[in-house]
Amino acid sequence: MNPGLSGKLVRAARTSTKILKEPKASKHYLIKLSSGKEKLIDSRCKATIGTMSNLEHEAKKLRTAEQSRWLGWRPVVRGVAMNLVDHPHGGGEGRSKSSGSHGRSSQTPWGKPCKSGFKTRPQKKRRSLVRVVRRLGFRGGCWFSDILGLTWRVLELVLVVVSFVVVFVGMGRAEVSSEVQLQDIVSGYRPTQSDH
């Protein structure tokens, strides 16, 4: 999610999201999607207030199979109805997706398990700003943004200390020069035109 792009989230009919936490120390909003997943979004991103239109989208029924083809939906064929070369569930005698007496778990056409909690999301995306579990105890789940924020705070503190030092040194020099001028006046010294 980068600011300045087109709409990426919550685009389906009758969907909305909630803001759980506004940014204070960090630059990210914590939102909750309609699926229940919590996600961190950059505060520079824009959003629209309200719920998506077409609220009766779920109640609409398709009259014919051809109407679903108009929408781009192709027929779904069961794996057990295919041949063995086409699907892991295919082949065999009768309606069976097991190999012999041993049961076989449900699989995709490419042989990956599709049940039993098998994780299909890429590892890099699981470690992104999506806050499913707070990793390593960092706020918001992103260690990189925390390190950048800490570095920026340290730099601000250093700049404040340096500015105070410069101001106090300048004030000390001004006081010394004023003391010298007072001593010269008390001793009777009068500057001439050649001194200027």
Q: Dump pLDDT digits (tens) for 18-52.
A: 999 888 777 888 999 988 888 888 888 888 899 99
DSSP 102: B
Query: Span 1-10, mean pLDDT?
Result: 86
Candidate ranges 12-26, 63-77, 107-121, 146-160; pick with highest mean pLDDT: 63-77
CA 77 centroid distance within chain: 37
Looking at residue 37, what is its pLDDT?
Answer: 87
Report if pTM > 0.95.
no
Q: Is 136 exposed, middle or buried (0-12, 13-18, 19+ CB in 10 A)?
A: exposed
Which one is predicted more confidently, 87 or 165?
A: 87
Which one is predicted more confidently, 161 or 74?
A: 74
Q: Side by side, which strands form the sheet with 28-32?
A: 18-21, 28-32, 38-42
Report residue 196's pLDDT band, with 50, 70 and 90 as the boundaries: low
Mean residue pLDDT across the chain: 77
- The CB-based long-range contact list for 134-142 (8 Å cut-off, 24+ gap) reads 139/25, 139/26, 140/26, 140/28, 140/30, 140/40, 141/40, 142/28, 142/40
Contact at 8 Å (CB) between 108 and 102?
A: no
Work out whether strand 18-21 and strand 28-32 pair parallel, antiparallel, or are unpaired.
Answer: antiparallel
Helix (H, G, I), strand (E, B) or coil at 38: strand
E strand or H helix at 20: strand 18-21
Report residue 67's pLDDT band, with 50, 70 and 90 as the boundaries: very high
Looking at residue 176, what is its pLDDT?
Answer: 55
Amino acid at 69: R
Looking at residue 64, what is its pLDDT?
Answer: 94
Cα–Cα distance, 81 to 94 (Å, whole number): 10
Contact at 8 Å (CB) between 89 and 107?
A: yes
Report residue 3's pLDDT band, with 50, 70 and 90 as the boundaries: confident
